Amino acid sequence: MNCDKRAETPEALKTDDDEGRVRALERYEVLDTDEEEPFENVVKLVQQALKVPMCAVSLLDRQRQWFKARRGLGVRETPRDISFCTHAIQQADAFIVSDAAEHPIFKGNPLVTGEPHIRAYAGIPLKTPDGYNLGSLCAIDDVPRDFQPHEISMLESFAKIVMEELELRQIASSDGLTGALTRRAWRETADTEIKRANRYGRPLSLAIMDIDKFKSVNDTYGHAAGDTVIKHLARLFMDSKRESDFFGRLGGEEFVLLMAETSDVNAQHILERLREEFSAAPIENDAGNQINCSFSAGIAELSEGEDLDPLLARADQCLYEAKNGGRNRTVLDQTQQPRKKAVDHGLAKTLVTESQ
């Protein structure tokens, strides 16, 4: 099964991949968290500097707009389909509405005709380093208003502070729930290993794994049960990996495994063994429920001179293929010819034995 190579650079704005955008948001592990001083300070300063009655750090989940911090807004979340932020994340720059009551899109919006009676809106997209708009930092007025260039510039500066704070959340090297490497720590390690593999012409493969239908686990059994499933998968991989393998949690129910000195074929042997073991027996949560789970995986082998991001993109595309192909399966990338399809026979024999 062929996996199309993504043409976008990591810096390109990705407005047509909402599922990827939501997954990027989940990697920051910020949704439904408590109030935190750095974000509260930002909205306080926005309210004071722009003299607006309302402002918020707004993040867009699949079906809702959720406020990490807010001033003048009585609710913590709203449906996504009526949010102004839905339109803001489609922009590269500021999204401005001077009078929502006269605007063709918003004049009938319940947030305009009813509480909180939005009339003017300025939203700055919160863009990740890999090009996804997670939400917006927005200033809101209840009277028509033309936001001035210097006000928009200030709002942009505050939005950068919000994203810097979100990035700081990922600095710790060990994920608190699973003990796996955090996304940031894993990327740093992976960069080093890829440079080594390129320098010496050695094989290296990467797999991205995602628990199938994980949302239904949370919806049926609760988030505590979801955490139990996540920890079970992480423990399976960490107990099985070699010293030369690096296992990390990208966020939510998505994990990644970098395997040095390993071809894609041998990597698939390993992943298939772990996939079968994970799906073979139900997982019991604290309430005694028996939860049947599986995972899907995409696998890609390093090509000569390749960097981490395109390698990740190829594996991630194969994960999409695995999900779309029925889940509970692994898919190999076939779009690029790795530098070596054959590995040392002794190593191959060891890996195949391990995978049985």
User: Catalytic residue positions?
Assistant: 253
Half-sphere exposure of 254 (CA within 13 A, CB side): 21
Q: What crossing angle do the helices spanning 308-324 and 183-200 adopt, rounded to 10°?
A: 110
Peptide bond into 310 cis (omega under 30): no
8 Å CB contact between 312 and 191: no
